[in-house]
Amino acid sequence: MSEWGRGLAAVAVVASLHARMLRAQEGQTDRGQETFQGVCAACHTIGGGRLVGPDLRGVTERRSEQWIIDFVQHSQRLVSAGDSTAVALFKEYQEIPMPDQPLSADEVRQLLGYIRGASASGAGLGPVVAEATEEQILLGREFFQGTERFANGGPSCTSCHDVTDEAITGGGVLARELTTAFSRLGGPGVQSVIANPPFPVMQRAYRDNPLTEPEVAALVGFLGLVGAQQALHQPRGSGPKLFAAGLGGAVLLLALYSLAWGGRSRGSVNQRIYDRQIKST
């Protein structure tokens, strides 16, 4: 073989080794991504804002690897041991405990590889909530209280939750009151909880009769309205904080104004309700 040939062969070997290494790394990242999307994404985004839990973008820079592994495996053990970071997070997130994850330290490391990559690439990962129309908001209210049935027959939200809204009385007390859910979790957070509930009781209620996408969008819109109504009635001072939910809140507030002063007679939902009432008399 000529010098040339040998050189080329060496390059080929190095290239194929490199390709194999890249593939192995990709395999790891794939598994991390799978776990993230299957398990963590119900409560976390990477660069998409907070949901039920904090945005995990850059988490590997703010915490040590060992701390994260411990936290993912048994966060409440850190909280009860008085770990100051864990206690502060737990308080900040309304004392919703992060459920223990049955993952080995290596599996958590794989996940962190994925989170690190996604944080660096800046590809904002997280659900995006579309603006709710007046029609969706009104329909969401009906879904919430069960006057409009879900296509797949799931229970109404008021069988477990209550909310402060002029049209709704006597909601359930099994689970949290949802008046401030939108301002606390943000639109994407609420959407993610409803579409993919991370809470076992709620999960069971919709496992065999899942909500459809339009139903979820309508419910998110309705909870946005409820949050905006609540914010309007807040004493001065606490308003800005409630509005920190941001643009979504503002958009919904506009929808609220148009509900109050416009649209009463032209909404197609009103027409539909009207039609139904006519039919049932």
Contact residues toward ligand HEC (CB under 6 A) are 35, 39-40, 42-44, 52-54, 56, 59, 63, 68, 71-72, 75, 89-90, 93, 96-99, 101, 111, 155, 157, 159-161, 174-176, 178, 181, 184-185, 190, 193-194, 198-199, 201-202, 205, 211, 219
Cβ burial, residue 172 (10 Å; 0-12/13-18/19+): middle
Closest to ligand HEC by CB, 68 vs 252, is 68
Nearer to ligand HEC, 35 or 119 (CB): 35
Cβ at position 92, least distance to ligand HEC in Å = 7
Residue type, 279: K
Q: State which amino acid sits at residue 226.
A: V
- How far apart are the C-alpha atoms of 217 and 195, rounded to whole Å? 9
With respect to ligand HEC, which residue has the nearer C-beta, 14 or 167?
167
Rounded least distance, CB 124 to ligand HEC, Å: 17
Name the minimum Å distance from CB 270 to ligand HEC: 22
Written as six digits, the tokens of 83 are 């770990």
Q: How far is the CB of 176 from ligand HEC (least distance, A)?
A: 3
Q: What is the spatial distance between Cα 26 and Cα 261, in angstroms, rounded to a whole number? A: 55
* Cβ–Cβ under 8 Å, residues 115 and 59: yes
Shortest distance, CB of residue 24 to ligand HEC, whole angstroms? 22
CA 52, 58, 64, 66 torsion: positive or negative?
positive
Contact between 73 and 109 under an 8 Å Cβ cutoff? The reply is no
- Between CA 66 and CA 69 the distance in angstroms is 5
Cross-strand pairs, 168 = 165
CB of 78 to ligand HEC, least distance (A): 9
Among residues 172 and 263, whose Cβ is nearest to ligand HEC? 172
Residue 161: count other Cβ atoms within 10 Å of its Cβ. 21
* Phi, psi (degrees; rounded to nearest 5) at 125: -110, 115
Q: Which is nearer to ligand HEC, 193 or 231 (CB)?
A: 193
* 6 secondary structure, DSSP code: H
Residue with Cβ nearer ligand HEC (206 or 243): 206
Nearer to ligand HEC, 29 or 263 (CB): 29
Other Cβ atoms less than 10 A from the Cβ of 137: the count is 26
CB of 180 to ligand HEC, least distance (A): 7
- Closest approach of ligand HEC to the CB of residue 108, in Å: 7
Q: Which is nearer to ligand HEC, 243 or 263 (CB)?
A: 243
Closest CA to 146 of 136, 158, 137, 135: 158
DSSP state of 52: S
Q: How far apart are CA 68 and CA 78, in angstroms?
A: 11
